[in-house]
Amino acid sequence: MFMFRYVYFLLIAYGLLLPGLAGAQGYISRLLHHPVPGGVAVVDMGSTGQAPSAYYKDAQVMVLRDSDQAWIAVVGIDLKTAVGQQSLQVQDSDGKRQLIFEVQAKNYKSQHIKLKNKSHVNPDPKQTQRFEREYEEQIRAYRNFRATGPSNVSLDKPVNGRLSSPFGLRRFFNGEERNAHSGLDFAVPAGTAIKAPADGVVTIVADYFFNGKTVFIDHGQGFITMYCHLSAFQVEQGQQVDRGQVIGKVGATGRATGPHLHWNVSLNNTRVDPAIFINAFVP
In CATH, 2-103 is 1.10.645.10: no
- Place 172 in a pLDDT band, splitting at 50, 70 and 90: low
At 21 the pLDDT is 39
**Confidence class for position 56, pLDDT limits 50, 70, 90:** very high
Q: pLDDT tens-digit profile of 240-283?
A: 999 999 999 999 999 888 999 999 999 999 999 999 999 999 98
Q: What is the pLDDT of residue 224?
A: 98
Hey, do 2-103 and 110-278 end up sharing a CATH topology, with the first three levels equal? no
- Count of alpha carbons within 13 angstroms of residue 91, beta-carbon side: 7
Query: Please, what is the average pLDDT of the chain?
Result: 87
For the residues 208-233, what does the mean pLDDT come to?
A: 97
Domain boundaries, the chain: 2-103, 110-278
Determine the pLDDT at residue 125: 85
* Second CATH level (architecture) for the domain 110-278: Distorted Sandwich (2.70)
> Does residue 139 carry a pLDDT above 70?
yes
How confident is residue 124, by pLDDT bands cut at 50, 70 and 90?
Answer: confident
Over its C-alpha atoms, the chain yields an Rg (Å, rounded) of 20
Mean pLDDT score, 61-89? 96
Question: What does the pLDDT read at residue 113?
Answer: 57
